[in-house]
């Protein structure tokens, strides 16, 4: 009775609470709940259906990108071209339809193909040259930004898409990417459903499929992964194509929700995606993180962004508040994770 049986710690049963605390996203979850509670208590509109619809909407497009970027970061790479990609894909559709009269669905497919092509180029360059993805995608970021500006200007003589809503079949595409649903007095935008779907699919891939294991493996220990037969090249190129594909999706969501897109769309947003992924528990070094965490990171960003407006604070301070909140979230995240790791 007194002699406890010695159990190998790898197969030891752990309490549900400990298992929960070990998840990467737990810090972000706690922070999200705290931030929600804070704004719900201090402002009148934040927790109402109409209030929630605006911060969910703001979070959704950031969230889709953050989830894709998180997968890539778990795989040990960065994509700085992700922000410019959202503008690029929207501009492609806008130019092809308003200027050349191409069928809107054909334009959407062309745009997806171009995005995946850029993603593949990013991945192949990183893998073949051995250059850091930071440098390669910084290059594609500038190229895309230049094309967005010069290409659009050269083709349509403007820097923003005009007259999109009068393109044939616009309404069909808007149904898919830009519609909204009235729930209890608040509007739920299509982008929110896309966000939930992307997060669910990414989580399933990460936790339940062989590909998920490959992603963790290539990010954690690339050489070891290659030695045990993980297709490193395929996995990494696939991840870059995934972020590019997500960039396309967000580009479509922006284009069909706002009916316009301009050449500076998305520039600078790439850092927000990375921040959201990090807040959600991704390590900058790769091999660790979660899709739900990144989605929660985006939710925090969205809530803070609109919460400041609801609070009526002077929103010249917005960036400063945002920085403090994000740092706080990361620190909380770290603290919870360390506690969880020591309390085995």
Partner 1 sequence: MLRFKLVGAIVAVGALLAACSGTGSDSGTSDTAKKNYTYAVITHGAPGDAFWDRVKSGAEQAGKDYGVEVDYSSDADPAKQSQLIDGAVAKKVDGIVVSMANPDGLEASVKKAVAAGVPVITINSGVDKFKDFGAITHIGQTETIAGEAVGERLQTEGQKNVICVIQEAGNVGLEERCKAIANTFDGKVQNLQVDGTDDNAVQATITSKLQADKAIDTVVTLGGQYAIDASSAVKDSGSKAKVATFDLSEDVIKQIQAGTILFAVDQQPYVQGFLGVTGLYLKSINGNDIGGGQPVNSGPAFITKDNADAVLQFAANGTR
Q: Which residues bind partner 1 (CB under 8 A)?
A: 43-45, 50-51, 53-55, 57-58, 61, 83, 148-149, 153, 156-160, 162-163, 180, 187, 191, 253-254, 257-269, 302, 305-306, 309-310, 312, 315-316, 318-319
Q: Quick one: 213 or 264, whose CB is closer to partner 1?
A: 264
Output the smallest distance, CB 344 to partner 1, in A: 41
Inter-residue contact 194 to 60 (CB < 8 Å)? yes
Q: Quick one: 125 or 325, whose CB is closer to partner 1?
A: 325
Output the smallest distance, CB 154 to partner 1, in A: 12
Q: Quick one: 111 or 263, whose CB is closer to partner 1?
A: 263
Output the smallest distance, CB 287 to partner 1, in A: 30
Q: Quick one: 57 or 236, whose CB is closer to partner 1?
A: 57
Find residue 127's DSSP bridge partners.
none
Q: Quick one: 243 or 265, whose CB is closer to partner 1?
A: 265
Q: Quick one: 9 or 44, whose CB is closer to partner 1?
A: 44
Find residue 187's DSSP bridge partners.
182
Burial of 185 (0-12, 13-18, 19+ CB in 10 A): exposed
Q: Quick one: 83 or 286, whose CB is closer to partner 1?
A: 83
Inter-residue contact 296 to 304 (CB < 8 Å)? no
Helices 170-177, 190-208: axis angle to 10 degrees equals 50
Cβ atoms < 10 Å from Cβ of 29: 20
Q: Quick one: 51 or 293, whose CB is closer to partner 1?
A: 51
According to DSSP, residue 160 is labeled B
Output the smallest distance, CB 336 to partner 1, in A: 29
Inter-residue contact 82 to 270 (CB < 8 Å)? yes
C-alpha distance across the termini of the chain, in Å: 23
CA distance 299 to 277: 11
Residue 335 corresponds to which tokens in the numbers above? Answer: 């603290």
CA distance 114 to 301: 29
Inter-residue contact 290 to 212 (CB < 8 Å)? no
Output the smallest distance, CB 200 to partner 1, in A: 21
Q: Quick one: 86 or 203, whose CB is closer to partner 1?
A: 86
Inter-residue contact 281 to 288 (CB < 8 Å)? yes
The CA-atom distances, in angstroms, between 54 and each of 48, 308, 312 are 10, 13, 16
Render the burial of 210-241: b for 16+ CB within 10 Å, e for the rest. Answer: eebebbbbbbbbbeebeeeebebeebbbbbbb
CA distance 303 to 259: 24
């Amino acid at each position: 009775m007194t002699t406890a049986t010695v159990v190998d710690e790898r197969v030891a049963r752990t309490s549900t609470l400990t298992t929960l605390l070990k998840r990467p996203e737990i810090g972000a979850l706690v922070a999200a709940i705290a931030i929600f509670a804070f704004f719900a208590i201090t402002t009148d509109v934040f927790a109402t259906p109409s209030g929630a619809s605006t911060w969910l909407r703001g979070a959704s497009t950031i969230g889709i990108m953050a989830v894709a970027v998180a997968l890539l970061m778990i795989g040990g790479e960065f994509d700085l071209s992700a922000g410019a990609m959202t503008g690029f894909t929207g501009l492609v559709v806008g130019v092809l339809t308003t200027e050349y009269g191409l069928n809107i669905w054909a334009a959407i497919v062309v745009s997806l193909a171009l995005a995946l092509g850029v993603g593949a180029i990013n991945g192949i360059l990183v893998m073949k040259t051995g250059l850091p993805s930071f440098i390669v995608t910084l290059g594609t970021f500038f190229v895309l930004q230049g094309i967005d500006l010069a290409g659009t200007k050269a083709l349509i003589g403007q820097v923003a898409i005009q007259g999109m809503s009068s393109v044939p079949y616009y309404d069909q595409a808007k149904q898919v990417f830009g519609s909204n649903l009235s729930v209890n007095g608040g509007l739920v935008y299509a982008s929110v459903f896309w966000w939930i779907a992307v997060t669910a699919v990414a989580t399933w891939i990460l936790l339940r499929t062989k590909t998920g294991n490959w992603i963790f493996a290539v990010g954690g220990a690339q050489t070891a992964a290659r030695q045990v037969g993980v297709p490193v090249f395929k996995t990494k190129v696939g991840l870059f194509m995934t972020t590019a594909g997500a960039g396309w999706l967000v580009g479509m969501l922006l284009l069909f929700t706002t009916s316009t897109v301009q050449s500076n769309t998305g520039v600078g947003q790439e850092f927000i995606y990375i921040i959201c992924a990090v807040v959600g528990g991704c390590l900058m070094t790769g091999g660790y993180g979660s899709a739900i965490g990144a989605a929660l990171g985006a939710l925090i960003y969205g809530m803070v962004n609109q919460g400041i407006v609801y609070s009526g604070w002077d929103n010249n301070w917005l960036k400063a508040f945002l920085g403090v909140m994000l740092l706080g979230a990361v620190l909380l995240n770290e603290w919870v994770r360390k506690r969880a790791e020591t309390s085995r």
